[in-house]
């Protein structure tokens, strides 16, 4: 954080001397945004004005994310969910009747023959209509018990046939900081900083 701060301040001073006023102001704001979002912007009062300005600007048509050329920063990108545990794959909740439709990948799943983690089966059975009567289990993932559904793959309309591969599915964790920016640090190494835009 400190290294990034001195990099941005020094580079902005040099570039600002030769830039046009509008370019300089845009670059300065972009560098302020990068600096603040790389740390605890909610807990830093001096970061509130540039980030509040950012949040307001995001609602306007034609918004472009302010970048910091001196640090080669990217526009921010949004990833709602955490990565699935190792060996698990992200998937949509339901099989679609319309191939090609985009689905939100809000679950993680793994076939039973690839699962090597401890499993405790329960007697719970989910709703027959909504979940095809799939059963529940407890799986220990990274030292924590997670509730999983046990599902058998069905036909092309999602109805269970009872003779397909068995999968375990779990809810995909939602990120507390779903936005990220990439930038070059003082050593020219590419870095990624995660953040949220929750108002303090």
pTM above threshold 0.85: no
Cβ atoms 198, 177 nearer than 8 A? no
Q: What string of pLDDT tens digits covers the 200 residues of the chain? A: 444 544 444 433 333 333 444 555 668 999 999 999 999 999 999 999 999 999 999 999 999 999 999 999 999 999 999 999 999 999 887 544 445 555 788 999 998 888 888 788 776 554 443 444 468 888 888 888 888 888 876 544 444 445 567 888 999 999 999 999 999 998 999 999 999 999 98
The structural domains of the chain, with segments of one domain joined by +, span 2-79+176-195, 89-171
Cβ atoms 109, 152 nearer than 8 A? no
CA-atom Rg of the chain in angstroms: 23
């Amino acid at each position: 954080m400190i290294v990034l701060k001195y990099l941005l301040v020094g580079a902005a001073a040099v570039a600002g001397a030769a830039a046009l006023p509008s370019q300089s102001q845009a670059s300065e704001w972009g560098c302020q945004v990068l600096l603040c979002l790389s740390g605890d912007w909610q807990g830093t009062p001096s970061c509130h004005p540039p980030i509040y300005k950012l949040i307001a600007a995001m609602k306007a048509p034609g918004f472009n994310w302010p970048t910091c050329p001196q640090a080669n920063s990217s526009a921010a990108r949004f990833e709602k969910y955490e990565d699935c545990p190792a060996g698990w794959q992200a998937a949509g909740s339901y099989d679609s009747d319309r191939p090609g439709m985009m689905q939100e990948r809000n679950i993680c799943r793994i076939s039973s023959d690839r699962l090597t983690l401890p499993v405790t089966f329960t007697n719970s059975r989910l709703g027959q209509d909504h979940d095809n009567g799939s059963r529940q289990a407890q799986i220990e993932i990274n030292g924590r018990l997670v509730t999983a559904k046990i599902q058998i793959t069905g036909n092309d309309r999602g109805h269970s046939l009872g003779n397909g591969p068995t999968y375990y599915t779990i809810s995909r964790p939602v990120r507390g900081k779903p936005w990220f920016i990439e930038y070059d640090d003082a050593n020219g190494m590419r870095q990624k900083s995660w953040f949220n835009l929750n108002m303090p």
